[in-house]
Structure 1
Amino acid sequence: MTRVERNRLVVENLPLVGFLAAELSSRATHISREDLAAAGALALVTAADAFDPTMGVPFGAYARRRILGAFADEMRAMDWASRGIRRRIKETTAVRDTLTAALGRTPTTDEIASTMGVDAQTVTDALADAERTVIALDDPIVHAVSSDLPLPDAAAAQGERREVLQHALEALPERMRLIVRAVYVEERPVKEIAAELGVSHSAVSQQRAEGLRLLRDALDRYDAENPGDSPAPTSRVSDAAREAYFTRIAANGGRRLAGAFLKGAAAL
């Protein structure tokens, strides 16, 4: 391949770098879009240098894999928490949640520390780290982000699912909706939200987690070919409460969403 052909491939596929960088930075908000774009552009150039058209693979698909690999390297380089720190966070929050369920209230730092056999400062540090909204590179969701990033010709379908997600968010119970929006849209600390609502940190975390589970159930219901084929729900509310939630989504979304969210019902 000549240098002219190589340069043409780079120029023609630069929009792909920008598109993928924008999609990932919107979901992994601790990563700068500019940093991702720079890493992706370099990966695009090296992909063009290494590309062999005789392999029968379209350059766009080949470059996409190289670009996403560069994004993963960039995320790994910028990740602040080691595996040991993440393990400590996971263990501490698990003990806290178990004690919360057993005691019927939020446990004190000393109670958590006593249960874990560590000092109170270790628990305090772990819970503070848990509030930092950075994606774990060893978390399966990171691989899902990379594999689910759409090519430009799939943007319409992605936009449709975002619309469904917006209706699903608006249909959440009022306090749960407020918490999910505050955490993920306004990017406010959980501690600040808890103080504003006059509830415990644990209560906010539980509402946030259940809100995310309901949103996942909504997307699963929408993606199923018919309402009865959707996967087993992940939310912990009653079946009646879940169906009432789906009914609110259908009402807000009008005719287009009615068939997806009203079990056994025809479109309005």
Structure 2
Amino acid sequence: MTTRDERNLLIIENLPLVGYLASETHARATHVSREELVSAGALALVTAADAFDPELGVPFGAYARRRILGAFADEMRSMDWAPRGVRTRIKETTRVRDTLTAALGRTASTAEIATAMGVAPDEVSAALADASRSVTTIDEAYDADLASLTPLPEESAIIAERRHVLQHAIQALPERMRAIVHAVYIEERPVKDVAEELGVSHSAVSQQRAEAIRLLRDALEQYYRDGQDAPTTSRVSAAVRERFFAHLAEAGGSRVARALAPTVAVT
């Protein structure tokens, strides 16, 4: 088990993960308060740090992620007013709607959905009205991965865009941070093994990982700032941050470069 100081360090270093996952979830389920998700996720992070056993060889980031997403699911279920039968009807109707929408390239009409389902249009209208009031359509077999929910076409575009920015942002990280992020979050290797391979301490890897997450968050905040001043969470020097954004702008293409201006000069 971790010591008290190690437990507190795990919580502090991974708080950005709570915010990131809460934003991702809120983007898919805008009817759920982001603040409530953050609150539930922060509590899950604390309990994850309390229960974490590094001897099991599982990276804390991966372990905490599942606990946080599970807490999101519990929070959403606790707010769900709909009984199982209603949720089933909602799920069937929205699935047909999304399938038709993807096939037609536009939002399917109530009449089109009703025809595809072989039911009366008023039944479709009622199901869609219930869907707009339903907090969640997560079923009892929820596997702690909200990414399994099928997004609408426009949501897919947003997710693809965010993934595009994030992938290039990872590549733009300073070399040591990039290697740590890849090892811990993509290869899911234990921090202890990564530290041994790099010849540094466990805490050094954790600090670099946390700073990398903050830089990635800065990149997303800057990209989606929509003309507003974006908050800065990273603690690196101004020179390191400027080089990071410059590399991201160069690798991400003109659209990313424009979104990052005036952080970087666009030619």
For the 8 Å contact 2:89–2:127, the answer to whether it is kept is: no
Q: Is the 8 A contact 1:182 1:193 kept in 2?
A: yes
Residue 136 of structure 2 aligns to a residue whose secondary structure is helix
1:67 to 2:107 alignment: no
How far apart, in 2, do the equivalents of 1:222 and 1:200 lie? Answer: 33
Contact 1:223 1:230 (C-alpha < 8 Å) held by counterparts = no
Paired AA for residue 221 in structure 2: D
Rounded Cα–Cα distance in structure 1 between residues aligned with 2:140 and 2:251: 40
2:212 corresponds to 1:211:
yes
Partner SS state of residue 233, structure 1: coil
C-alpha contact 1:221 1:261 (8 A) present in aligned 2:
yes
Q: How does 1:160-179 map to 2 (within 5 A)?
A: 160-179=161-180
Q: Which amino acid aligns with 2:247?
A: R
- Cα distance, 1:68 vs. partner? 3.2
Q: Quote the offset at 1:60 in angstroms.
A: 4.6
Distance 1:232 1:54, change over 3 A: closer
The residue aligned with 1:156 is 157
Distance in 1 of aligned mates of 2:125 and 2:255: 45
Letter in 2 for 1:239: A
The answer as to whether partners of 1:172 and 1:211 remain within 8 angstroms in 2 is yes
- 2:88 paired residue among 48, 58, 65: 48
Q: Distance in 2 between matches of 1:217 and 1:198?
A: 28
Alignment correspondent of 1:234: 233
Match status 1:185 vs 2:186: yes
Report the equivalent of 1:95.
none
Give matches, 1:1-268, under 5 Å. Answer: 46-48=86-88, 57-58=128-129, 60-61=131-132, 65-68=135-138, 70=140, 75=144, 151-153=151-153, 154-226=155-227, 229-263=228-262, 267-268=266-267
User: Shift in Å at residue 260 of structure 1?
Assistant: 1.2
Structure 2: any 5+ residue segments left out of the alignment? 1-27, 30-61, 78-82, 92-122
Q: Distance in 2 between matches of 1:250 and 1:50?
A: 42
Size of the aligned set, in residue pairs, is 166
In 2, the alpha carbon distance for the partners of 1:150 and 1:211 equals 29
Tell me, in whole angstroms, the C-alpha distance in 2 between the residues paired with 1:172 and 1:178: 9
Please list the CA deviations of residues 65-98 of structure 1 after superposition, one character each: whole Å capped at 9, or x if unmatched: 33237477x65xxxxxxxxxxxxxxxxxxxxxxx
Partner of 1:101: none
State the shift of 1:254 in Å: 2.0
Matched AA of 1:220: E
- Shift in Å, 1:45: 5.1
The superposition leaves residues 183-222 of structure 1 with CA deviations (integer Å, 9 ceiling, x where unpaired) of: 1111111011011111100000000000000000000000
SS in structure 1 of the partner of residue 138 of structure 2: helix
1:150 Cα offset (Å): 7.5
> Residues 54 and 236 from structure 1, CA distance in 2 versus in 1: closer, same or farther, beyond 3 angstroms?
same
One-letter amino acid of the counterpart of residue 257, structure 1: V
The alignment partner of 1:67 has SS state of coil
Please list the CA deviations of residues 87-145 of structure 1 after superposition, one character each: whole Å capped at 9, or x if unmatched.
Answer: xxxxxxxxxxxxxxxxxxxxxxxxxxxxxxxxxxxxxxxxxxxxxxxxxxxxxxx9xx6
- Using CA pairs below 8 Å that are at least 6 residues apart, which structure has the higher relative contact order? 2
Structure 1 residue runs of 5 or longer lacking an equivalent are 1-18, 76-141
- Identity over the aligned pairs, expressed in percent? 43
Q: Which has the larger radius of gyration?
A: 1
Q: Provide the secondary structure at the position in 2 that maps to 1:68.
A: coil
Partners of 2:246 and 2:264 within 8 A in 1? no
- CA pair 62-207 structure 1, distance change in 2 beyond 3 A: same
Equivalent position of 2:20 in the other structure: none
TM-score, length of structure 1 as denominator length: 0.50
Determine the structure 2 residue equivalent to 1:114.
none
TM-score, with length taken from structure 2: 0.50
Amino acid across the alignment from 2:218: D
